[in-house]
Amino acid sequence: MAGSSKGGTRPGQAPVREAVGSIIPFLDHQLPSLRKDAAAALGEIADPSARDALVARSRDDDPDVRKTVSWALGQIRARVSP
């Protein structure tokens, strides 16, 4: 059903997906600080479309990146949980 959170699109969803798509490549940046900032931004947005990219980064070499990725995944879980 259009407009519902379970089907169709919500108002503003396209710009969110566009933002997520622009941020995800920074999860692979060579600088840990940029990977961490990207994960934090994705956590603030908390769009489920970022989940796979964040999971892929959950074993990052940098502990601060891993911690932020874990937080971001928690934000997404909290948003999609009933």
Q: What is the pLDDT of residues 14-71, one digit of tens each?
A: 777 889 999 999 999 999 999 999 999 999 999 999 999 999 999 999 999 999 999 9
pLDDT on residue 17 = 82
The whole-angstrom separation of Cα 24 and Cα 21 is 6
| The domain defined by 31-80 carries CATH number 1.25.10.10 | yes
What sign for the dihedral angle of Cα 66, 78, 6, 36?
negative
The first and second tokens of residue 56, run together, are 């892929």
pLDDT on residue 13 = 65
pLDDT band, residue 77 (cuts 50/70/90): very high
